[in-house]
Structure 1
Amino acid sequence: MNRRDFLISSLAAAGGVGLAACDDHGASNMPKAPMPTTGPDGRRLLPWQNWSGYQHALPAERLAPQDEEELAALLQHSPAPIRPVGAGHSFAALVPTQGSLLSLRNFGGLKAHDAASLTATLGAGTRLGDVGPMLDGVGQALANMPDIDSQTIAGAIATATHGTGRALGALHSYVTGLRLVTPRGEVIDCSAERNPEVFAAARVSLGSLGVITEVTLRNVPTHKLKRSVWLEPLDQLLERFDELARQHHSFEIYYLPFCSSAVAIAIDPTDEPISPRGEEQDNDAVMQMKQARDWLSWWPGLRRRVLDLATQDFKPEEAVDLWYRIFPSSREVRFNEMEYHFDADALLPVFKEVRKRIEAQHHEEFFPIELRVVRGDDAWLSPFQGHEVSGSIAVHRYHAEDPLPYFADIEPIYQPYEGRPHWGKMHTLTPAQLAGRYPRWADFLAVRAALDPEGRMLNPYLRTLFGLA
């Protein structure tokens, strides 16, 4: 048993658990999943929920077309709203519908590749975890990846899912072409040269324009990466943040609430021999931080002392492997999330306000807070649109606990900085606020109306978001 395990276990033995047992941290306020029922025709309706369990739906139809011809027919005639679904890893209510839930599980795989241009065309239903071996087999690699690889390509680009790195864009920024089937049954091939306005809108579309069936990505040669993880005093790490972000191919930090240290992760190309990552430790560490919260939320000073002692034996970790085995991590502890993006110059000032608010008013919080940087791009609804470099802050809440009061207290901190939300994460911005932060907001809405004038792809959440409720 190491120091961390011993200290946490000692708290339980001392009886500290009894002091916090009366607080369920909002668990009783969480929404409940609908029970299976039957539709008007007597068929059983199967409930759907997202990965965290927060979003639920009881769709009238579940669709899984085999090809574009069948997809086009279903989009025209199935019960609306029609909502595409991938891994269900969005925390916002993008998917829930009482109409039709549409899966792209039959639209996967590597369709074509070009060694000279380093491009590859993939089915939009391909999971990111499956993309790695496919591309590596033809000598290519994604330039960047998010740290969760269960999403489909279509879902990832629709929500502007991203990794981290000053010179690395979000996944949609590497899209050079895509194929879109509209609710009217039209099939549109688009790129920067062909149907450019549809392309600018469709790269980040929230699944509101139709259904993307194929995506062409600009890639890089396959390569190895070295991942370095270390613990460092938070204040010292913040002073070095900009320097480290410029120095490393990929860099991020995780602030551990009520701990004096933070976790730093750097990823860089390497020619070193392969030395695979060991067993994932993050999930156990998060649950041990939860234990410390459960027993010591009433005494923040002691909690900090215990966490500081518990983290003293953290040994730096290094691993070398093929790119697709280095970027992603296992995320077995479920949560709900709110993430906002700013101009990179605002990242650290905003974070310092967030940290101050958490440590003053949110002793119930234990989930690490993630700080990243992302290269800007020009997709109309990209949160990084118009920025040379964006900074992002992601706050999380344990899946069994109500996230709304916590998120509602943190979100106002972002507004003076013109923060833009990650589309797959929870937020409360109004159409008027969004229109003020996205220069091409009205252009996007015009393209959406032209492609889906009847609003067949719009569930109640999207109607509200676009000001059409």
Structure 2
Amino acid sequence: MKRREFLAGAAGLLTAGTLAGCDDHGASRMPQAPAAAIGPDGRKRLPWQNWSGYRFGMPAERAAPVSEDELAELLKKTPAPIRPAGAGHSFTELVPTDGTLLSLRNFSGLIAHDASALTATLGAGTKLGQIGELLDPIGQALPNMPDIDQQTIAGATATGTHGTGQTLGALHAYATALRLVTPRGEIIDCSRTQHPEIFDAARVSLGSLGVITQFTLQNVPTHRLKRRVWLEPIDALVERFDERAAAHHSFEIYYIPFCSHGVAIAIDPTDEPLRPRGAEQDNNAVMEMKKLRDLVGWWPALRRRLLDLATQDFQPEEAVDLWYRIFPSSREVRFNEMEYHLPREALLPAFKQVRARVEAHHPEEFFPIELRVVRGDDAWLSPFHGHDRSGSIAVHRYYKEDPLPYFADIEPIYQAYEGRPHWGKMNTLDAKTFAQRYPKWREFLDVRAALDPDGRMLNPYLRRVFGLA
């Protein structure tokens, strides 16, 4: 019997009356999207919302320029705040605006490449899921990829989005050059040798300096990867985490709340014959875990027993394919997320505290908790700035349920370790705390003020982040 079949069967053995008595887990307190409205200018405004449906905006203008010259003129004249939307995959308030919502859909695709240097220049609006079919024919590959590939390059780099692997950097770490259009209409090419201070600020910028239209990325030769997924007692996974993170190209684990087992995923280069991944099971498995939570969340011991039985027959999965078909996974179950990055030595101690807090106080939680590792870099607002290696812990809450009480209870654990949140994921830190945790915070603010002295790229959220509210 497969784990999904067992979970469904276990749920069926329990009475419907149990389900009827379940708490709504904060669903009624979730924000609701506004309806279309007529703005002060008499024009109809349509709401924008992010992927999870938690963040909303009512922009006065929506723009999708087709050239850098058009973009430069637009940035000087269009109603502010001007916010690039990317793919809407940030859980913070980076995008909502009552000014101009900007799409980079016309800045996508492969612009140029250098076969000898293994570099490629891509439009900033290119989605990560499109990059593989652009790079593979020219013999190139990204060194690493995030586990979700729906973001645009611009959105992913702006927020420090990353995959996992202790010798592998986040996406922005492989940028060798970029082109920035400022709110004053300047078009600036940046690299380590050309406007290096802007380059250091712009690689992770929260979209606050202007609009990046293209990136040049340092790549590697195209290759195959082998992906292994297996279950193991969570205590053993934690005990051997450092060993396996060092042994594998990419490695991560998922802790399943109120289960004795966790999931491990290891990815390594290979020359083995192709064995493509089968149908995605994660989405169904998550929803079955939700069903079990709804039915027996009030009885943790029974829940653990059922989850342990459901996972004990799991057979390891293996797949071999081209790199861009191995790294990402389909994430069809929507959620809100909080992810913190910690010095590598703090990762496991912090996780043990998170696990204890969840099991003691949060029987409503069912989403797996993710542990990853990332190489440090020198981008000024990179969460990995100045670290040799970083670790990250990501917690999730189902999109129909209020994430704030859960996240508020977990977040203080990270503060003792001076954790830095993922810029696209929910957190409550303020400008004073960011200034203490980012050595180049003041330098970034100076570059930002020089490029956008009137704050045309700043919505209320960014003004709070930068201490300007």
Give the corresponding residue for 1:205.
205
Letter in 1 for 2:229: V
Counterpart for residue 103 of structure 2: 103
SS at match of 2:229: strand
Q: Is the 8 A contact 1:124 1:152 kept in 2?
A: yes
After superposition, give the CA deviation of every residue in 1:274-297 in whole Å (9 maximum; x if it has no partner).
Answer: 110000000000001101110111
| Aligned partner letter, 1:45 | R
Give the structure 1 partner of residue 265 of structure 2.
265
Matched residue, 2:180: 180
Cα deviation code 1:151-195 (max 9, x no counterpart): 100000000000000100000000000000000000110000000
Whether the 8 Å contact between 2:7 and 2:288 is mirrored in structure 1 is no
User: Contact 2:110 / 2:123 at 8 angstroms: preserved in 1?
Assistant: yes
- 4+ residue stretches of structure 1 with deviation over 6 A? none
In the TM superposition, residue 9 of structure 1 has moved relative to its aligned partner by 2.8
Structure 1 match to 2:406: 406
SS of alignment partner, residue 138 of structure 2 = coil
Contact map agreement 2:132 2:324 (CA 8 A) in 1: yes
Q: CA deviation at 1:7?
A: 4.6
1:209 counterpart SS class: coil
Task: Please say if 1:223 is aligned against 2:209.
Answer: no
Q: Deviations over 1:50-97 (max 9, x none)?
A: 000000011000000010011011100000000001110000000000
- State the alpha-carbon separation in 2 of the partners of residues 93 and 21 from structure 1: 34
Output one character per residue of 1:231-260: Cα deviation in whole Å (capped at 9) or x when no partner: 000001111100000000000000000000
Q: Residue 417 of structure 1: SS of its match in structure 2?
A: coil
1:136 corresponds in structure 2 to 136
Question: Offset at 1:13?
Answer: 3.5
Aligned match of 2:387:
387
Structure 1 alignment gaps of length 5 or more: none
Q: 1:5, CA displacement in angstroms?
A: 2.2
Q: CA RMSD in A?
A: 1.0
Displacement of 1:16 in angstroms is 5.7
Matched, 1:377 2:377: yes
C-alpha distance in 2, partners of 1:6/1:367?
Answer: 18
Alignment partners' CA distance in 2, 1:94 and 1:383: 16
Question: Counterpart in 2 of 1:308?
Answer: 308
Q: Is the 8 A contact 1:4 1:309 kept in 2?
A: no
- Aligned-partner residue type, residue 91 of structure 2: F
Letter in 2 for 1:382: S
> Structure 1 residue 442 and structure 2 residue 454: aligned?
no
Q: 1:190 to 1:29 in 2, by over 3 A?
A: same
Distance apart, 1:45 and its partner CA: 1.3
SS in 2 for 1:213: strand
| Rounded Cα–Cα distance in structure 1 between residues aligned with 2:154 and 2:19 | 46
Name the counterpart of 1:55: 55
| Structure 2: 5+ residue stretches without partners | none
Aligned residues: 469
Q: Could you tell me which residue of structure 2 aligns to residue 252 of structure 1?
A: 252
State the partner residue of 1:356: 356
| AA matched with 1:244 | R
The residue that corresponds to 1:339 in the other structure is 339
| Alignment check: 8 A CA contact 2:2 2:314 kept | no
**How high is the TM-score relative to the length of structure 2?**
0.99
Corresponding residue number in structure 2 for 1:11: 11
Contact 1:16/1:296 (CA < 8 Å) preserved in 2? Answer: no
Query: TM-score under structure 1 normalisation?
Result: 0.99
Q: Report sequence identity in percent.
A: 74
Contact 1:224 1:270 in 2 (8 A): yes
Take 1:392 and 1:448, find their aligned partners in 2: how far apart are those partners?
Answer: 27
Give the Cα–Cα distance (whole angstroms) in 2 for the partners of residues 20 and 8 of structure 1.
Answer: 17
Matched, 1:89 2:89: yes
Q: Which residue of 1 aligns with 2:458?
A: 458
Distance in 2 (CA, whole Å) between partners of 1:133 and 1:68 is: 25
